[in-house]
Structure 1
């Protein structure tokens, strides 16, 4: 996972790409065919089917930018997000950074689409970011028909699963054809290495799993065997995938829900009330 990546394609190709991306089931009840999911690690047959359904419940973040000074070019950035309520998703800041940092006068759109309903993308807006810890909260224009996640704490050497939606293995944003599945994502199984991740200097509230994820998994959930979110993937370092712990995620979400305190001026100083 690198910082947000982008490709420029002529606007005329946009509709062709959309046809490839948006083909398939229109509801979450119809799970993705298992052959469209790349499984990393050992999964038995029943678990593959279960995880294929689980993958449908996590929306994809698609950032599409059209800049005012380049009206014939479309900028793409893709990643994964976590549905924390019917109309709010959590993702990495670096996934939406290009959108969040648009210059004055530039135009852009931010959309979220569930894998089970890729032809029903929903417009979103950024309501809170934390570039330092790499988190962003997005508010959707309308609710997504999927169950929001629940959170749990990570444990060392705990068996976990990750779900992500990486770009293709060649590293390019391509028009999907017979060589690429209509929904290209990854489900991987690994173990939590450390709940503290002390081998990453300057990073607090970080854990890691002993597997390197593909770019595009950024913002994706790290799940325990009860499908509870114990963290959100953020970067790869030294062959491991690092995740923001559920405690940090929940604190970030809670801050948004807490009304801001009214400033009170006392003797020329501003303090919270």
Structure 2
């Protein structure tokens, strides 16, 4: 049953490539402004099927960076490691060492700004899966590999209905492709690891568990471009993207969009796409409160085959 909710005022809002923070005192140049607030505004109506209702909020997308120049320091990995409340004894550092080469930062230049997202390598010749909202409207795309190299990339295909896109890194070979798990086997409580470039901090690692399955995430594409405080309702019609997502408490922030969510075996179980935050800044920036969402790997594999 679809429930209708009235649009709520801020602070329920939506982020995306974020706006940069004020420069440090030693910096002379003012920060560049980022236009895009991409991914996922989702009203609570979209979560009713998952057992959540009564509170109107927003799922906010997590692509974009507060300071894109930090991506230049890609050879230095920032990570938050350690076991979560999943199975004890999981060697997170060993898993991260194995899978990190398959994670990239996606850099996009737009007509009036720049943005940063994440991606995961799916073939050794440089095919990379990311979110559609990361590369939508991009005039140029580059990817920064885990070894610090930045190469040009082209968009091979997009599937806005699932918020996924496939891009091709140019002039590369022998890359480490990620392995995908069967997301139908994922259970609530499974330990997961998210890797991406939140705030332009490439190679950031966070851990958590799968909090819920089959959460309905609904995104209004038209509102995300026109309204700094957009909301959407389930089944809104044209211009909406809706999919069933894995919910996780692994911290997902702006810049994580398109990055992989790994299981304890180092296999991709989801593509990070949205987060929920009740508190946002005046420019739409927001932080994780432990409610993130990922597109299941089985759905991602179907889109890869189609594209």
Separation in structure 2 between the aligned mates of residue 115 and residue 164 of structure 1, nearest angstrom: 10
Range moving further from structure 2, 86-95 or 143-152: 143-152
| Residue in 2 that maps onto 1:122 | 151
| Residue in 1 that maps onto 2:248 | 209
Quote the RMSD (CA, aligned, Å). 3.1
1:198 positional shift:
5.0
| Residue in 2 that maps onto 1:81 | 119
Using the size of structure 2 for normalisation, the TM-score is 0.59
The count of corresponding residues between Structure 1 and Structure 2 is: 210
1:226 positional shift:
1.4
| 1:165 pairs with one of 160, 176, 197 | 197
**How does 1:41-80 map onto structure 2 within 5 Å?**
42=83, 47-48=92-93, 50-52=95-97, 54-65=99-110, 67=111, 75-80=113-118
Are the equivalent residues in 2 in contact too, given 1:37–1:52 (CA < 8 A)?
no
**Greater Rg by CA:** 1
| Residue in 1 that maps onto 2:166 | 137
1:233 positional shift:
0.4
1:149 positional shift:
1.1
1:9 positional shift:
3.5
What's the CA shift string for 1:136-161, capped at 9, x where partnerless?
11122222543111111231221111
Gaps of 5+ in 2: 1-13, 21-30, 34-66, 219-233, 236-241, 278-288
Seen in structure 2, the aligned counterparts of structure 1 residues 20 and 249 have a Cα distance that, compared at 3 Å, is: closer
| Residue in 1 that maps onto 2:262 | 223
Gaps of 5+ in 1: 11-16, 26-31, 68-73, 100-107, 169-182, 257-273
Using the size of structure 1 for normalisation, the TM-score is 0.66
Q: Secondary structure at the match of 2:304?
A: helix
1:4 positional shift:
3.8
Seen in structure 2, the aligned counterparts of structure 1 residues 45 and 85 have a Cα distance that, compared at 3 Å, is: closer
Question: Does residue 1:194 correspond to 2:212, yes or no?
Answer: yes
Separation in structure 2 between the aligned mates of residue 208 and residue 57 of structure 1, nearest angstrom: 22
Question: Per chain length, whose mean CA-contact separation is higher, i.e. which structure has more relative contact order (CA < 8 Å, sep 6+)?
Answer: 2
Separation in structure 2 between the aligned mates of residue 132 and residue 4 of structure 1, nearest angstrom: 20
Are the equivalent residues in 2 in contact too, given 1:160–1:224 (CA < 8 A)?
yes
Are the equivalent residues in 2 in contact too, given 1:4–1:97 (CA < 8 A)?
no
1:5 positional shift:
4.0
Are the equivalent residues in 1 in contact too, given 2:130–2:166 (CA < 8 A)?
yes
What's the CA shift string for 1:229-264, capped at 9, x where partnerless?
1110000126411110111101101112xxxxxxxx
1:23 positional shift:
5.0
